[in-house]
Structure 1
Amino acid sequence: CAPAMAMRVPLWHHYLQALRSRAAARARQHQCAEDVVLTLLERVHALDPRFLVDYSRDLEAFQFSLRSSEGPLDVEVPLWVDAEALVIEAAGGSQGCCRLGLPRGAAGLERWKADDVFEASLEGSARCCGHIVPSKVLRVLKELLVAAIVYCKHHRLIAPGSLSADSLREEHFGLSLWVSSGWRTLHFNMVPVVRRKLRVPALEGARLVPGFPEGALRGIVRQEVALVPAGGELWRVSTDYLLTRLLGALGSLQGHRLDSLSILDRVNHESWRDGGQRPGLTFSHLKMVLLWAAALFPTPEDWAELQGAVYRPLVVLLRCLATRNLPHFLHPEQNLLQDAGLDLGALYQCVEHFASQPEAALRIHATHLGRSPPPRVGSGLRALLQLPAGEPAYWATAYFDVLLDKLQAFNIQDEQRVSAMQSVLLKTEILGAEDR
């Protein structure tokens, strides 16, 4: 086994080195494109002070540098409104969605009673005189962005050819904008947001503490969440910014957590999605998998060695695809694979093939060609992955340690971890014997 391990480890590190060599250039490309977007938003704010410019976007550049995939990048456009004064009305039949009501007689909200963003209540509510309508807000923002593009081009505030108003389209309750940055064109999704203090119970739970820096968690818990458009009349809570903050917190820890995300995103883009030509997993899916892996594998030893670090989120991903359920990290009752329109069976086969023989996907050029070690995946692993999703014991560190052991990626010497893993393995063997 030792010669095979010696051959595999340099390949993993060589692959990571190739990804890191591109990170600085990608960060610069993102910065140049984002500067164009911020210039536009400054003009939007000058035209209509109800729309603000958010300059605190350093985490977005950091996140973009980790990626190989080319999905849209969200740009939040905060609304200048006293969010604490608004009335949040739950929308019946729409889980997690709400309406933003303007209370009767509230001071400082007059500008939001304009017809272009407001709809008077027809129900004679005692609390609200009407609502801020997301479809109207998007329409106003689109008109402002078009005017800003024309103004900035006329006054040469943006480089010729960097963007066109023709690229402005309404998609997924945001405004799609394509910006050229050198030889790359980046896709931004402009999303109006109302920021407000709301409880996120999962952030307050003890389960996060072992896997994330405690000081960073305290700061993240105090952050506001964003209410974003969820339809013509409805808003929903978005925790995307909080998730990115959690990802940034993982970057402050020793080990290969973020490296594992970069590697899996590159493999996903190049191998599982055929260079982005096929639908499949997104960076957001993989980010969610890593956050779960960080909570399930909280010890530094789990992330000290690169190959083992990649296999931590990999076993979580295999389990999610096998059970067709990827829980949202902050709202576990939400399944991010449900209604995603993905062929989960085909995706599982791709991910399992990589877990079994990763070397083929890690070869960047012809000099890496060579004999691959034998497959790691056997029928025993597949049976373990198919265990009932509702059983808590099968969403715990000991269960995933069993999967790592089956994939020859368990390198922990802690006796309690080993004992817990063996207990789960014994339980599954008993279940298997009963089934027979």
Structure 2
Amino acid sequence: MWSSNSDRLGWYQRYLSGIKAYHDMKVIDIQKCEDILFTILDRVQQQDYRFQVDYSRAHACFDYTIRTQFDELDMEVCLWFNDLSLRVEESCDTPYIADGISHQAVPKKGVAYLTVPKESESKWTGSDIFHPLPESSQCCGHIVPGRVINVLKELLKGAIVYCQQNNFINPGDVNAFLLNFDGPRLTLVLRNVTKPLRVNIIPVLRRATAKLLENGFQNGHSFPETTSQTTPENLDISNGTYYRWRFCFERPMWKLLEKADADGGHRLDSLCLLDRIKTDHWLPGEHKRGITFNMLKMVLLWAMKFFPAPEDWIDLESSVYRVVVVLLRCLALQNLPNYFMHEINLFQEDFQAQFDFQAIYEKVEQFADTPEKFLQIHLTHLLPAPRQHIDSYLKMLLQIQDNEGLYWNTAYFDIILNKFQVYHVPDADRIGAMQLAWAKTTKLVTDEGCSS
């Protein structure tokens, strides 16, 4: 049992061990569901070669090693088009209406069109997923994601019936009632060992990622200015609105995180621990959105950027706090900038409920203030006495507004870590930068009427 403050680091490790105790069994259940999906998608591919089955699911397998809760699963279906001339463009010079669906051509970061150049028009004329544009347009037409979804929906329905009739899947394994609803998602409900599992079938067109990774990770400028120089051609895309595709960042996130702890640090352990805390304690209000696993991964990428030294991640407690302080800052500003394309705010996704900023911020702040309350595995475990508290000065420091990105840097976060007594890095340059930032923020906070 936990009984003293001297065991401070131990209760982080015990909680993490408790999380992982039944982890392998959960993954086995998920993989059984994957087998059912692969059977259905294999039939889809037999019917239409454009929809390819990805049996490797490398980045999903990586997530399995970290995630602690599997209420929902994404299954990507790779699109294969025999046309290398297709281009991804972020705007459309010719607004149009097709299939009775309203179309807004206002440029927005994070979504794009998949265009067919005029020299390739003959390959796509008459295609069920192609929409032609007037001759005055810069391209001959678009590959419409809404039509791709409609084609895949009908293929899934037919594949499920076929697999059931031929005893490839058991009766009751799949519930396809959600396929009857229109929208950007194709969702199946699978029978699982513990409770039904919702699976989102997502068509994805994969692009090159090497340049994206290089630019994203070496970006050294302040938030919110974008400097990654990412181009649409470097990104995977999946269905977004009926007309426009959405940029996908799952694969580049995986590439940056898969070897994050090669130096023996606790970056991924902190992600695993916080994913469980999020599931158990950071639930949003009714009909509102909360933090997702992908959001936590993006926060970890930013934390790794701000704290690149191995010494920052040498113990689990300090590692957790490095992720938490960045998360608190994002919640305070109501902006979680995409690591690869900074103009995109992950808190503001289309077709999603409003994010519950106030409630989630308070819950994360409570964890940062007294984490031992959240790390209790069983009621019989005696928790150590509270070690720290967030005072009014730190509250104001966390919530300083920042239109110019002055407080989106290592020195600012080092100050907050120091206030939480989890800094522990004897780096003269960083300490000097922290002291300079401390003088500026102290004056600012004091001017606003809060004494330390």
TM over 0.5: yes
* CA shift digits 1:350-387 (9 cap, x unpaired): 11111000111111111214453154211111121122
1:386-401 residue pairs with structure 2 within 5 A?
Answer: 386-401=399-414
Label 1:258 to 1:429 Cα distance change in 2 as closer, same or farther (>3 A).
same
1:162-173 residue pairs with structure 2 within 5 A?
Answer: 162-168=173-179, 173=184
User: Where does residue 317 of structure 2 map in the other structure?
Assistant: 307
User: Where does residue 154 of structure 2 map in the other structure?
Assistant: 143
* CA shift digits 1:266-317 (9 cap, x unpaired): 1111111189997421111111111111111111111111111100000001
Label 1:199 to 1:84 Cα distance change in 2 as closer, same or farther (>3 A).
farther
User: Where does residue 215 of structure 2 map in the other structure?
Assistant: 204
**Aligned equivalents of 2:402 and 2:6: distance in 1?**
36
Report the residue type matching 1:322 in the other structure. A
- 3-state SS of paired residue (2:108): coil
**Aligned equivalents of 1:206 and 1:181: distance in 2?**
38
**Aligned equivalents of 2:57 and 2:447: distance in 1?**
55
**Aligned equivalents of 1:297 and 1:428: distance in 2?**
20
Report the residue type matching 1:331 in the other structure. M
Report the residue type matching 2:116 in the other structure. L
Report the residue type matching 2:35 in the other structure. D
User: Where does residue 214 of structure 1 map in the other structure?
Assistant: none
**Aligned equivalents of 2:8 and 2:217: distance in 1?**
37
- 3-state SS of paired residue (2:346): coil
User: Where does residue 419 of structure 1 map in the other structure?
Assistant: 432
**Aligned equivalents of 2:343 and 2:243: distance in 1?**
24
**Aligned equivalents of 1:335 and 1:399: distance in 2?**
21
User: Where does residue 294 of structure 1 map in the other structure?
Assistant: 304
Q: Report whether the alignment pairs 1:359 with 2:369.
A: no
User: Where does residue 115 of structure 2 map in the other structure?
Assistant: 101
After alignment, is 55-64 or 308-317 more displaced? 55-64
- 3-state SS of paired residue (1:182): coil
Q: Report whether the alignment pairs 1:117 with 2:139.
A: no
1:272-283 residue pairs with structure 2 within 5 A?
Answer: 272-273=282-283, 279-283=289-293
After alignment, is 157-166 or 344-353 more displaced? 157-166
User: Where does residue 30 of structure 1 map in the other structure?
Assistant: 30
> Is the 1:52–1:79 contact (alpha carbons within 8 Å) kept by the matching residues of 2?
yes
Q: Report whether the alignment pairs 1:431 with 2:444.
A: yes
* CA shift digits 1:142-186 (9 cap, x unpaired): 111111111111222224422123243557622112222323432
User: Where does residue 285 of structure 1 map in the other structure?
Assistant: 295
How high is the TM-score relative to the length of structure 2? Answer: 0.84
Report the residue type matching 1:178 in the other structure. V
User: Where does residue 215 of structure 1 map in the other structure?
Assistant: none
User: Where does residue 323 of structure 1 map in the other structure?
Assistant: 333
**Aligned equivalents of 1:330 and 1:172: distance in 2?**
27
Report the residue type matching 1:241 in the other structure. R
**Aligned equivalents of 1:296 and 1:177: distance in 2?**
39
* CA shift digits 1:309-362 (9 cap, x unpaired): 100000001111112211111111222223661221121111111100011111
Structure 1 unmatched runs, 5+: 210-220
Q: Higher helix fraction: Structure 1 or Structure 2?
A: 1
> Is the 2:285–2:356 contact (alpha carbons within 8 Å) kept by the matching residues of 1?
no
User: Where does residue 191 of structure 1 map in the other structure?
Assistant: 202
Report the residue type matching 2:241 in the other structure. G
Report the residue type matching 1:135 in the other structure. G
CA RMSD in angstroms comes to 2.8
Higher relative contact order (CA 8 A, sep 6+): 2
> Is the 2:129–2:143 contact (alpha carbons within 8 Å) kept by the matching residues of 1?
yes
Label 1:416 to 1:171 Cα distance change in 2 as closer, same or farther (>3 A).
farther
**Aligned equivalents of 2:288 and 2:175: distance in 1?**
27
Number of aligned positions between the proteins: 419
**Aligned equivalents of 1:344 and 1:81: distance in 2?**
41
User: Where does residue 242 of structure 2 map in the other structure?
Assistant: 232
* CA shift digits 1:28-47 (9 cap, x unpaired): 12221112111111110101
> Is the 1:69–1:283 contact (alpha carbons within 8 Å) kept by the matching residues of 2?
no
User: Where does residue 18 of structure 1 map in the other structure?
Assistant: 18
**Aligned equivalents of 1:369 and 1:119: distance in 2?**
65
> Is the 1:78–1:194 contact (alpha carbons within 8 Å) kept by the matching residues of 2?
yes
User: Where does residue 280 of structure 2 map in the other structure?
Assistant: 270
After alignment, is 258-267 or 425-434 more displaced? 425-434
Q: CA deviation at 1:393?
A: 3.7
* CA shift digits 1:119-153 (9 cap, x unpaired): 232x1246543322211111110111111111111
**Aligned equivalents of 1:10 and 1:278: distance in 2?**
35
Q: Report whether the alignment pairs 1:259 with 2:269.
A: yes
Report the residue type matching 2:79 in the other structure. L
User: Where does residue 143 of structure 2 map in the other structure?
Assistant: 132
**Aligned equivalents of 2:407 and 2:28: distance in 1?**
42
Percent identical pairs in the alignment equals 38
**Aligned equivalents of 2:120 and 2:24: distance in 1?**
48
Label 1:73 to 1:297 Cα distance change in 2 as closer, same or farther (>3 A).
same
How high is the TM-score relative to the length of structure 1? Answer: 0.87
